[in-house]
Structure 1
Amino acid sequence: MTVADARAETNPLPIEVASFRVLTDSMPQMVWSTRPDGHHDYYNARWYEFTGVSPGSTDGEEWAGMFHPDDRPEAWKRWLHSLETGDPYEVEYRLRHHTGEYRWTIGRAAPIRDERGRIVRWIGTCTDINDSKAVAEENEILSRELSHRIKNIFSVLGGLISLSARQFPEAREFAKALRQRIAALGRANEFVRPHSEKSRPLIGRTTLIGLIQMLASPYPAFEGGRIRISGDDVPVDDRGATPVSLIFHELLTNSLKHGSLSTAEGLVEITLRAEDGSVHIAWVESGGPLVSAAPTELGFGTTLTEISAEGQLGGQLERFWKADGLTVRLRVPLARLYRASDA
């Protein structure tokens, strides 16, 4: 006999309540409910299957004993805040599985209010995120390892250039300039690589023009005045810096390989215009190889820039392949570039 069957035999319910229990017992998530004061009085079958405890044994405040001891203070703090304010509840914590291990879950709850706005019940869920969290942690380790190796490559290149300069003193100034460009490229790489909330660069507050100038600084065309940046400058913080950096890094490297920056006379003009809560950015190439037609296939980098522009920044990116070079128009909501509280 299942947990749901046992409850049904011992406690006949009104049709509305019975329907609610059938619905929640069929869900893959753990579902729970409390009275307005936070007293837990209902768990669905998934809760008992996950925890392995006896029905009713976690009613009231006994549910807290299922948390990992290190996670209880924060979970209680957030739950009490929700009970006092009526704000939705959300927190990640480790919950004891019936095997004895603690698995990461995300707990959420929202209040149900009557016609007067009074809270009459809380309905919550617990979702097992242990496997996805483990994958995210593995990806974070791989990302940091990749960054470490790339930094080492830049360091080795700088060291080799220094050693070569000692053998050829006449190339000392050239070697110095080359080391500086490699160092700038290394700094730009930190913004381009994939990041989590923990690993992304903490730049504080800067400006969009300043960020683009930093990304363009390793390129000789920037020093030579062939990468021109103008227009309305807007703030950007560490949240918006990574996707913006990825987009401009891809545009710069593609231009150097195939576009206007691949020639001695080629020019890139970048203009910014802030309007209606967004920044409109135009990237215009000229003076490079003639463009006969748009590419028939999109590379991985191009796809990645679209994901960054539309998915991460909530904007829009369009490409126009003109005979004299590529034109890109990018619109990004200002709210995605920096936190409003910092403005």
Structure 2
Amino acid sequence: MVTTAATLSPLLWEQKNLRRAVQAAGVTLWSWNVDTDALAMDDAAYDLWGVARSTDVTFEDLSAHIHPADRDRVRAAFNATRAIIGPYEIDFRIMIGDELRWISARGQGDDEGIVQRIMFGIFLDVTGRKQAEEGRELLAGEMSHRVKNLLSIASGLTSITSRSTSTTKDMARELTQRLTALGRAHDLVRPLPGQTATASALLGDLLTVLLAPYDDLGAFSGRIRVSVPRMRVGDSSTTILAMIIHELATNSLKYGALSVENGLLDVSCSARDEAVTIMWTERGGPVVTQPTQPPGYGSRLIERSVTGHLGGAISYHWAPEGLVVTLNVSPDRLAQ
């Protein structure tokens, strides 16, 4: 038997098969009475919104699930749909318990398609797409921040090297050594997949690699002093801790003790069963005052890394003689 378009047409247009296509696309359906505010939705839409399927709902009922930051915007957009010419689309967040979802509502404006005062449209769960977009924006922001920091670091290292050398040849040699050390430190902040430097297995080795580019006389023999117990750091925590130390050192080089010739940095650590405490203490730099501006990207990055990845807390003491940063992290997280 030869299959033709004519023989396939009934199968193509069967309602149950069209429903399968809608379900496969993740589309949920709604209709809205523009006079009474009553909403009707298919089962998938009720599930998407976390509403019992037997419940009669209005737009105001659904508004209770919309994220507070989006609620007024969404209400205004829906009220304005009849003034919109052609198709419209609006993305917003909803809260189902503690779970956040992104929804895209789409329909036809300007009274087009209204049947007996009822408008029609769809809801799409676009959470995955929004999370991917947020991830790309976060990565772009972090990359921009890193590039600016690296340029500042290169300028600061050049200044440090000029103070500790007397000839252009010596300066070129030492600057090359510092930039090479900075490259090794950067590898710890952004390692290749499955690759972690052997030196990062111990906390002291990790700090040696990270802080070597900033010491006038080589790691721990000059103005940078480190006193830490023999402690192993796990692979995943190595990257996070390296990023934190790298950020603190960058800020010190730009604004703190490492920005001047006589500035000193002490890094110490004490370990107990319930917490590992790392103290970052700067002395001899410019007079310190607590920032009045909201935390910048780097500070937020450190906060997120300490509280999230290391299961700990970070505090700052803005003493006039120098900044003191205290990191309290979980021993179990540090070993991971």
TM-score by length of 1: 0.50
Deviation at residue 190 of structure 1 after TM alignment:
2.5
Deviation at residue 280 of structure 1 after TM alignment:
0.6
Match of 1:218 in 2: 213
- Decide which of 286, 300, 304 is 2:301's aligned counterpart: 304
Within 1, Cα distance between the matches of 2:320 and 2:217?
23
**AA aligned opposite 2:207:** I
Contact 1:260–1:288 (Cα < 8 Å) also in 2: yes
**AA aligned opposite 1:186:** G
Structure 1 residues 191 and 27: alpha-carbon distance in aligned structure 2, compared to 1, 3 A threshold: farther
Structure 1 residues 239 and 25: alpha-carbon distance in aligned structure 2, compared to 1, 3 A threshold: same
Question: Does residue 236 of structure 1 match 2:230?
Answer: no
Within 2, Cα distance between the matches of 1:311 and 1:200?
22
Q: Deviations over 1:223-247 (max 9, x none)?
A: 2511111032311122001221111
Equivalent positions of 1:230-309 (< 5 A) are 230-291=227-288, 293-297=289-293, 298-309=295-306
Match of 1:28 in 2: 48
Match of 1:112 in 2: none
Structure 1 residues 137 and 312: alpha-carbon distance in aligned structure 2, compared to 1, 3 A threshold: closer
Deviation at residue 278 of structure 1 after TM alignment:
2.2
Structure 1 residues 24 and 222: alpha-carbon distance in aligned structure 2, compared to 1, 3 A threshold: farther
**AA aligned opposite 1:202:** T
Within 2, Cα distance between the matches of 1:139 and 1:131?
12
Within 1, Cα distance between the matches of 2:296 and 2:128?
34
Within 2, Cα distance between the matches of 1:128 and 1:187?
40
Question: Does residue 338 of structure 1 match 2:323?
Answer: no
Deviation at residue 140 of structure 1 after TM alignment:
11
Contact 1:200–1:238 (Cα < 8 Å) also in 2: no
Deviation at residue 285 of structure 1 after TM alignment:
0.9
**AA aligned opposite 2:203:** L
Q: Deviations over 1:283-328 (max 9, x none)?
A: 111111222x311122221121111111221111000011110011
Deviation at residue 185 of structure 1 after TM alignment:
1.0
Alignment partner of 2:230: what SS? Answer: coil
- Decide which of 202, 223, 233 is 1:207's aligned counterpart: 202
**AA aligned opposite 1:294:** Q
Within 2, Cα distance between the matches of 1:141 and 1:218?
26
Contact 1:315–1:332 (Cα < 8 Å) also in 2: yes
Structure 1 residues 136 and 200: alpha-carbon distance in aligned structure 2, compared to 1, 3 A threshold: farther
- Decide which of 147, 152, 171 is 2:168's aligned counterpart: 171
Structure 1 residues 222 and 245: alpha-carbon distance in aligned structure 2, compared to 1, 3 A threshold: farther
Alignment partner of 1:265: what SS? Answer: coil
Structure 1 residues 139 and 190: alpha-carbon distance in aligned structure 2, compared to 1, 3 A threshold: farther
Within 2, Cα distance between the matches of 1:177 and 1:271?
27
Question: Does residue 314 of structure 1 match 2:285?
Answer: no
Within 2, Cα distance between the matches of 1:188 and 1:240?
15
Contact 1:270–1:282 (Cα < 8 Å) also in 2: yes
Match of 2:323 in 1: 326
**How high is the sequence identity, in percent, across the aligned residues?**
34
Structure 1 residues 175 and 241: alpha-carbon distance in aligned structure 2, compared to 1, 3 A threshold: same
Q: Which runs of 5+ in 2 are unaligned?
A: 1-14, 17-41, 50-124, 159-166
Within 2, Cα distance between the matches of 1:322 and 1:177?
33
Alignment partner of 2:213: what SS? Answer: coil
Structure 1 residues 134 and 266: alpha-carbon distance in aligned structure 2, compared to 1, 3 A threshold: closer
Within 2, Cα distance between the matches of 1:320 and 1:192?
25
TM-score by length of 2: 0.51
**AA aligned opposite 1:217:** A
